[in-house]
Amino acid sequence: MPASEPWLSDDMAIARTRAWLTEVVIGLELCPFAKPAHVKGQIRYVVTAVEEPEALLQVLLSELQALMDADPALVDTTLLIHPRALPDFLDYNDFLGVAEFALEDMGLSGQLQIASFHPDYRYAGNEADDMANCVTRSPYPMLHLLREASVDRAVAAFPDASVIVEKNIATLRALGVDGWRRLMANLAP
């Protein structure tokens, strides 16, 4: 759990997140849209040491504006990694409503989206150990800030997203709990 890693540096959090992206998200082909941005170096990795939701909200507001101001050819998406804020999934899940409200309040709905990842992610109705939850499990709590234009291009390339979801669940269930634990344990650093 992130709270048990007080020694965690920003570089270590980014290295582990990059390893998760390449080994899990891209390696297991969970998101066909991730590889192009990764290969082109268009993903911005931001780590914050804040612990309180209010402070995280301020960082989120800043990062939403930074993504809007960035050249899409250079920064297409941002992973806002917050290992010390919202380690409890239910608190994190509650914060997502605040994050969506902030996006709307800034007038960025329709331009940016926020996707969510957490080490203990759990979809409503799923058991805690259901491998389907692992589709959005990550080494640390994080918010993925995406450009709507990029999402639209990705959806145009894969119009039936339900096929991706079904394939991901089948892949993760075939991997199993032990395979998932080994995969996550072997991520750098």
**Side chain identity, residue 64:** L
- Cβ neighbourhood burial of 152 (10 Å; 0-12, 13-18, 19+): exposed
Six-digit token pair at 127?
């058991």
CA dist., res. 110 & res. 55, Å (int): 25
Closest CA to 119 of 132, 103, 136: 136
Q: For the whole model, what pTM was predicted?
A: 0.94
Residue 9 CB-half CA count within 13 A:
5
CA dist., res. 144 & res. 114, Å (int): 5
Tens digits of pLDDT across the chain (189 residues): 344 466 789 999 999 999 999 999 999 999 988 999 999 999 999 999 999 999 999 999 999 999 999 999 999 999 999 999 999 999 999 999 999 999 999 999 999 999 999 999 999 999 999 999 999 999 999 999 999 999 888 888 877 877 998 999 999 999 999 999 999 999 976
Q: Compute CA 79 distance to the chain's CA centroid, rounded to the nearest angstrom.
A: 6
Domain boundaries of the chain, sorted by first residue: 2-185
CA dist., res. 50 & res. 70, Å (int): 23
